[in-house]
Structure 1
Amino acid sequence: METLPKIFLGGFPLDATELQLVQLVNLHGNVETIKIVRDKKTGKCKGYAFLEMKTKTDAEQAVEALDGSTYQHKLLSASIKVEEPAPTSRPVFTRVQRPGATDRPKRRRI
């Protein structure tokens, strides 16, 4: 299953609602979902959001139209969110050896 293209939208007023932002972005492309980022402790908006767009073209058109534009006297920043590649499988723990230590088995003393 292909993931929906995502855009970053920042710089909007802290009191902007999801509905207001969806209405703004929908002028330039079809929004599927929105997630306004909020402070974990206070729940207050941090001034940026991530939106999933219906198509890559919708995402590109929205970014083109919104990046550098103003909304309620605030300068907006918009960009395509680049997906991070999945982390490669690496050991969680690696053994740290003291300087001079080797992997050779110790000789038993008699």
Structure 2
Amino acid sequence: MVKIFIGGLADNIQEMDLAVFVSLHGKIETIKVVRDRATGKCKGYAFIELLNIEDAKNIISMLNGETFKGNVITVKLCEDEAPKKSFKPKPAGVGAASQAYKSKRPRVQR
């Protein structure tokens, strides 16, 4: 799947309107208009997934800088997202974890 970004959308945009506008230039698999949770209004951008890169390139070349519902839109290919790092503790015996446990509290001399 290839993902493209569309920015500069009006706040009252509907998914179907955008789908009809974009589908003239390539076959759409999924569409996600990003909305404000409180108001339900479009935040000004959307993501569209396509099956092949040729459709994505065609959509980008045909629609980037065009006017849609009174706004000039930006259309570009989404860069691959870096995988999110998750915390994984090191197994015992590896690196700092193998050192003897040290309390964070200083010991009081008696």
TM-score between the two structures when normalised by the length of structure 1: 0.74
Partner of 2:57: helix, strand, or coil? helix
Distance verdict in 2 for CA 1:72–1:88, change over 3 Å? closer
Note the 1:37-48 alignment, pairs <5 A: 37-48=34-45
TM-score between the two structures when normalised by the length of structure 2: 0.74
Distance verdict in 2 for CA 1:90–1:68, change over 3 Å? same
In the aligned structure 2, how far is the partner of 1:72 from the partner of 1:87?
Answer: 36
| Paired AA for residue 72 in structure 2 | L
Partner of 2:61: helix, strand, or coil? helix
Identify the range of structure 1 (23-32 vs 38-47) with the bigger mean alpha-carbon deviation: 38-47
In the aligned structure 2, how far is the partner of 1:28 from the partner of 1:51?
Answer: 13
Note the 1:51-90 alignment, pairs <5 A: 51-87=48-84
Instruction: Let me know the Cα RMSD of the aligned residues.
Output: 2.7
Aligned to 1:14: 11
Aligned to 1:23: 20
Flag as ranges the 4+ runs of structure 1 deviating above 3 A. 87-92
Deviations 1:80-103 (A, max 9, x none): 0111121456657xxxxxxxxxx8
Percentage identity across paired residues of the two chains:
38
Partner of 1:46: helix, strand, or coil? strand
Q: Give the number of equivalent residue pairs.
A: 97
Partner of 1:33: helix, strand, or coil? strand
5+ unaligned residues in a row in structure 1: which ranges? 93-102
In the aligned structure 1, how far is the partner of 2:32 from the partner of 2:82?
Answer: 21
Note the C-alpha offset of 1:10. 1.2
